[in-house]
Amino acid sequence: MEQLDIQKLWKQSEALLEENRTLNLALLKELKLSKAKSSLNRLLFLPISTLVFYIILGFYAIYFAVNHSEQWYFAFSGVVVTFFSFWFVIVALKQLYLILSIDYTEAVIKIQKTLAELKTSVIQNLRIAAWLLPFGPFIAVFFFKVIFNVDVMSLLNFNMLISFGISTVILEIISLFLLRALHPKRLSERWLNWLLQGNGSQVIKALQYLDAIQEFKKNKI
């Protein structure tokens, strides 16, 4: 009789413990999801500001290229700025969609998958900048004309033109190195997470909040 009472108390204790664990998990999930949502809301500034800035820049670059079509280097620099501006716009739209489409009532693992995709998209900004590097001299030509109304190419002598070409090659090499370093397979590397500080670290923090939920679930099991 006494043994039956002990078994009954043991089962009641286990049921109570399981109930507490479930409650703790629900509370932890609510808290961490709230923090993740808050973190991602702060990230909204990045795609919105990128969207506004590069739409304006992209359309101005089209106007610039057409208006200076008689000089190939101005036309080319305008085309380059237009291309990369709208590339940034496309990536910003994707980031905005991913942030706003997250359903925090879904399974944690599904939210983690969306956040991983968002992190890849944020890193895409860095990859675009790396692709842009070899065109740096032409970007300089564009902005010198736009901001200072200076035709840099007309000021260059033969030796400076050679230097212009060499710098383009060097930037091409740096670009290839950076593109390799910024490969999606290296998403978890510390230096890349450090590089995302300020613009992208919000995704990392959100992922950490969700990892805490998953870790609690594992311990619960």
- 64: confidence class by pLDDT, cuts 50, 70, 90: very high
What pLDDT, on the 0 to 100 scale, is given for residue 55? 97
- In percent, the amount of the chain with pLDDT more than 90 equals 33
- With 60 as the cut, is the pLDDT of residue 145 above it? yes
What pLDDT, on the 0 to 100 scale, is given for residue 52? 96
What are the angstrom distances between the C-alpha of 29 and each of 101, 108, 161, 216? 19, 9, 60, 9
What pLDDT, on the 0 to 100 scale, is given for residue 75? 96
Over residues 13-43, the pLDDT tens digits come to: 565 555 556 545 555 566 677 787 888 888 8
- 146: confidence class by pLDDT, cuts 50, 70, 90: very high
What pLDDT, on the 0 to 100 scale, is given for residue 94? 94
Q: 51, 76, 45, 36: which is closest to 203 by C-alpha?
A: 36
Over residues 150-198, the pLDDT tens digits come to: 998 888 776 776 877 788 778 878 888 877 877 766 666 676 666 666 6
- Would you call 201 exposed, middle or buried from its count of C-beta atoms within 10 A (0-12, 13-18, 19+)? middle
What pLDDT, on the 0 to 100 scale, is given for residue 7? 61
What pLDDT, on the 0 to 100 scale, is given for residue 220? 55
- 83: confidence class by pLDDT, cuts 50, 70, 90: very high
- With 80 as the cut, is the pLDDT of residue 9 above it? no
- In percent, the amount of the chain with pLDDT more than 70 equals 68
**pLDDT (mean) for 43-62:** 94
Amino acid identity of 7? Q
Please state the pTM of the whole predicted model: 0.78
**What stretches of 75-200 adopt beta strand conformation (E)?**
none
DSSP of 154-178: HH--HHHHHHHHHHHHHHHHHHHHH
